[in-house]
Amino acid sequence: MYTVALIAGKGGAGKTTTATALAVAAAAAGSRVLLLDLDPQESARRWGAARGDVAPLVTVEASDAARLGARLRSAAPSYDVTVIDTPPSAASTARAAAQAAAGGLVVIPVRPSPHDLRTVRETLDLVRGAKAPFLLAVTQGSARTRLTVETVEALAALGPLGPMLSRLDVFAASAADGLTPLDVEPRGRAASEIRTLWQQIAGRLVDKTT
């Protein structure tokens, strides 16, 4: 079973939106997917409750750092991919998630913002301390703005950088019903970006085992 953890020290970076989108992308690609929500606000769990049995199926559960290792061990026979959503500004939980993803991948979403860029180095220190491989990903970006371009350039100097997820209304609009752009606009730009990001993540996961 592969484990993918979404970690960012800054709130509003798009962790939950990215986590749910990647979970659906993995399920659409044929994987059995578990999404674990470690955030006390349980936004991902509520998204899962709204989604119900919509195909492709994603199992969503609330959990916490103390139970994470045991839940991952018990999940291994039943799932191919576990995606972990974490809260911001909770170093102990983020560290536990990074350690759990040491054999998989940590995805670090970063919004084009000076505040996000200032905190990403702290997140990278935590992830590197857990000896976890990582991928940086710009979220809520716009390729036409100087701030997004500067953010991409800054992140590329810090480590491997994945495809950008654009700032599009369909992300928020679909989430209220437990859906993602892959469900409501499967041929749209947002869905294409999600699939491209997941394909890069999946490729890195497979490369680690070959």
CATH code assigned at 101: 3.40.50.300
Q: How far is CA 141 from each of CA 14, 90, 104, 151, rounded to the nearest angstrom?
A: 11, 25, 26, 9
Report how far residue 154's alpha carbon sits from residue 36's, in angstroms, rounded to the nearest whole number: 30
**Residue 210: predicted pLDDT:** 43
Q: Where are the alpha helices (DSSP H) in 33-106?
A: 43-51, 65-75, 91-100
Number of domains in the chain: 1
Q: What is the pLDDT of residues 31-62, one digit of tens each?
A: 999 999 999 999 999 999 999 999 999 999 99
What range defines the domain where residue 106 resides?
A: 2-207
Per-10-residue mean pLDDT for the chain, 210 residues long? Answer: 95 94 98 97 97 97 97 97 94 96 97 92 95 97 94 96 96 96 98 98 79
pTM for this prediction: 0.96
